[in-house]
């Protein structure tokens, strides 16, 4: 017993899919030296976070211990792994390590926030390693839906920990490194203490399909297309972009990349040598001169995002190009749960324009980037770890993955965000619970998810808003009646009188009932007016608005 321990603490990504941020530590309890794996974002929705621009993990715990933080490692360039780097780096201040393509993307993010690109260091792949404090960390190539994804091999005096990052087992990934079983077996040879493992597709019972199987299907589809072809996929899926572009070329079409995120990804992939022989593309400005049947657009917006190229095209002209009768639109992507409404809206808009839409419902034009259950089992067999720590999943995924590991005779531990696990012993041991949460980027300001700001906005969205103003003179006597202004409420209710007038009467009546003591007391007066207006509205329109009361006193 050295008195030291190796700990694992997810701050984001465990109990959700998104905003990954995993802390590892080694040292004496409470004094561990720390590293962070990934620093991602997640995306807001109207149900829970209206008006919010971006969501980060709450890194307060780590920021308070930044003197012990030795480095940040980024496994790959998906937004849910790298998206927080520019926004949050200043609070952590540790060097960022990533492989070339990921580092290229991370540096662009740092640059957007006026941070020096040198804070991001380019790491080489395994067997090269980086020593930071008590950790020796190596980037072990693994296949996923973006180039240069890596697992991390994290060695501490307690042994070897393998953090898979996002992965699938793909022997023919089109772009980037194929899964190299021999290499992985070699890494595992010395023994793996714990496998910290992607859980996304634990409910998918069939073996995963290779990226290479998509190409022939897309080529077949394109060979039969008569008009213009528009295809959308995730901007970061460089392999898919290549597959699509090559299929377009082979079908005799000029290829246009549309959407900033997509051009940026291809640029980064070419700059870092990850992407070679990508078919020549045509700038959108020249697309107008090309006959429709010889044109293929590859566009952003596979999730129905309102401002992306796919939505713009569905709404009408975009960069002079109009999609219409006889054209084909291909979703070479899956719809992330929660985005269905947006995607369906675009499909219907395209349908109204006479466009034939092909999506992935038949499972032909897209494959997942995550390991399905049999591949997760294979990963356990290959690495043969003493413990399995499921991550990158909602609670249901982590739970199922834990059960699966246990059913196969391994130690498994279900650790959601904030659960600190000691991985030093012969079995995982939960040693602490740390407060975690979400930070919202709201306009240009960061607010805590529980600060109440967004809660108030949701309430106004549900209930509307009423402003009540009242002026009192120097003797606390009302000067005239209370005044009501409304927003997001109907103009008339049950009585057919203007709702403002009805509520002004409610407020005036409350004022009439108020004694001298209430009139002197701002809080009591505001509360009386608020209650009067809410109850008046309940009678008149069946709902209680949020109320702002402003009492002005002459003095």
By CB atoms closer than 10 A (0-12, 13-18, 19+), residue 218 is: buried
C-alpha to C-alpha distance for 3 and 186, rounded to whole angstroms: 30
Kindly write down the DSSP assignment for every residue of 176-212, as one continuous string.
Answer: SPPP-HHHHHHHHTT-EEEEEEE-TBTT--SPPPPGG
Whether the CB-CB separation of 333 and 363 falls below 8 Å is answered with no
Helix (H, G, I), strand (E, B), or coil: what is residue 15? Answer: strand
Binding mask 282-321 for a copy of itself (x = CB under 8 A): ----------------------------------------
> Which range of residues in 66-74, 111-119, 253-261, 465-473 is near a copy of itself by CB under 8 A?
465-473
> Which range of residues in 74-82, 152-160, 453-461, 516-524 is near a copy of itself by CB under 8 A?
453-461
How many other C-beta atoms lie within 10 A of the C-beta of residue 489? 18
Whether the CB-CB separation of 20 and 199 falls below 8 Å is answered with no
> Which range of residues in 122-130, 194-202, 295-303, 540-548 is near a copy of itself by CB under 8 A?
540-548
Residue 460 interacting with a copy of itself (CB under 8 A): yes
> Which range of residues in 1-9, 45-53, 70-78, 514-522 is near a copy of itself by CB under 8 A?
45-53
By CB atoms closer than 10 A (0-12, 13-18, 19+), residue 33 is: buried
Measured from the CB atom, is 136 or 368 closer to a copy of itself? 368
Residue 433 interacting with a copy of itself (CB under 8 A): no
> Which range of residues in 40-48, 289-297, 375-383, 431-439 is near a copy of itself by CB under 8 A?
40-48
- DSSP symbol at 83: T
Residues 28, 31, 45, 118: which binds a copy of itself (CB under 8 A)?
A: 45
Residue 543 interacting with a copy of itself (CB under 8 A): yes
Residues 394, 476, 521, 527: which binds a copy of itself (CB under 8 A)?
A: 394
Residues 430, 431, 487, 509: which binds a copy of itself (CB under 8 A)?
A: 487
Residues 1, 280, 407, 445: which binds a copy of itself (CB under 8 A)?
A: 445
Residues 124, 172, 361, 406: which binds a copy of itself (CB under 8 A)?
A: 361
Structure token digits, residue 51: 């008006």
Tell me the angle at which helices 260-271 and 238-250 cross, rounded to the nearest 10 degrees. 100
Question: Could you say which residues in the range 149-208 bind a copy of itself, by CB under 8 A?
Answer: 203
Structure token digits, residue 369: 């980037």
By CB atoms closer than 10 A (0-12, 13-18, 19+), residue 356 is: middle
Structure token digits, residue 470: 């009242």
Q: Least CB distance from residue 361 to a copy of itself, whole Å? A: 7
Which residues sit opposite 358 in a β-bridge?
A: 330
Residue where the block lists tokens 């949050």 = 88
Residues 128, 352, 474, 475: which binds a copy of itself (CB under 8 A)?
A: 352
Binding site for a copy of itself (CB under 8 A): 15, 45-47, 50-51, 203, 337-338, 340-341, 344, 347-348, 351-352, 357, 361, 394-396, 399, 442-445, 447, 451, 453-454, 456-465, 467, 469, 471, 479-480, 483, 485, 487-494, 541-543, 546, 548, 550, 552, 554
């Amino acid at each position: 017993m050295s008195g030291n321990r190796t700990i694992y603490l997810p701050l984001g990504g465990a109990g959700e899919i998104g905003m990954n941020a995993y802390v590892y530590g080694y040292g004496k309890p409470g004094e561990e030296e720390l590293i962070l794996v990934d620093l991602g974002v997640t995306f807001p929705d109207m149900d829970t976070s209206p008006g919010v621009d971006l969501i980060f993990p709450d890194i307060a715990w780590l920021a308070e211990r930044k003197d012990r933080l030795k480095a940040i490692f980024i496994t790959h360039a998906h937004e849910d792994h790298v998206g927080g780097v520019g926004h949050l780096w200043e609070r952590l201040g540790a060097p960022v390590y990533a492989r070339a393509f990921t580092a290229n993307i991370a540096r662009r993010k740092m640059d957007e926030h006026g941070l020096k690109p040198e804070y991001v260091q380019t790491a080489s792949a395994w067997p090269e390693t980086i020593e930071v404090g008590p950790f020796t960390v190596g980037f072990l190539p693994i296949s996923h839906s973006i180039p240069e994804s890596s697992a991390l091999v994290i060695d501490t005096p307690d042994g070897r920990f393998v953090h898979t990052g996002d992965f699938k087992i793909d022997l023919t990934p089109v772009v980037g490194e194929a899964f190299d079983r021999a290499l992985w077996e070699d890494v595992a040879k010395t023994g793996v203490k714990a496998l910290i493992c992607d859980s996304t597709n634990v409910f998918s019972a069939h073996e995963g399909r290779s990226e290479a199987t998509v190409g022939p299907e897309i080529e077949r589809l394109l060979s039969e297309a008569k008009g213009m072809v528009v295809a959308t996929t995730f901007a970061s899926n460089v392999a898919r972009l290549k597959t699509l572009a090559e299929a377009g070329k082979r079908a005799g079409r000029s290829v246009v990349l549309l959407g900033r995120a997509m051009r940026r990804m291809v640029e980064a992939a070419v700059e870092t040598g990850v992407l070679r022989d990508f078919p020549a593309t045509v700038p959108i400005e020249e697309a107008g001169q090309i006959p429709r049947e010889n044109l293929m657009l590859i566009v952003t917006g596979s999730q129905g995002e309102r401002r992306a190229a796919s939505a713009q095209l569905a709404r009408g002209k975009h960069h002079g190009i109009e999609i219409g009768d006889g054209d084909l639109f291909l979703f070479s992507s899956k719809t992330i749960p929660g985005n269905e409404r947006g995607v369906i809206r675009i499909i219907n808009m395209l349908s109204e324009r006479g466009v034939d839409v092909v999506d992935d419902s038949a499972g032909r034009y897209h494959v997942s980037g995550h390991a399905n259950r049999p591949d997760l089992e294979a990963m356990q067999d290959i690495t043969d770890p003493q413990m399995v720590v499921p991550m990158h999943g909602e609670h249901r995924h982590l739970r199922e993955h834990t059960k699966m590991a246990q059913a196969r005779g391994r130690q498994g531990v279900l650790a959601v965000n904030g659960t600190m696990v000691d991985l030093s012993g012969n079995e995982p041991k939960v040693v602490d619970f740390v407060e975690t949460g979400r930070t919202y980027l709201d306009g240009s300001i960061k607010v805590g998810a529980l600060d109440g700001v967004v809660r108030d906005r949701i309430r106004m969205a549900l209930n509307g808003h009423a402003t009540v103003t009242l002026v009192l003179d120097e003797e606390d006597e009302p000067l005239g009646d209370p005044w009501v202004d409304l927003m997001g409420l109907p103009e008339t209710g049950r009585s057919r009188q203007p709702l403002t007038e009805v509520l002004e009467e409610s407020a005036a009546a409350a004022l009439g009932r108020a004694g001298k003591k209430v009139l002197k007391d701002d809080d009591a007066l505001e509360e009386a007016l608020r209650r009067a207006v809410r109850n008046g509205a309940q009678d008149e329109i069946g709902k209680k608005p949020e109320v702002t009361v402003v009492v002005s006193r002459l003095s």
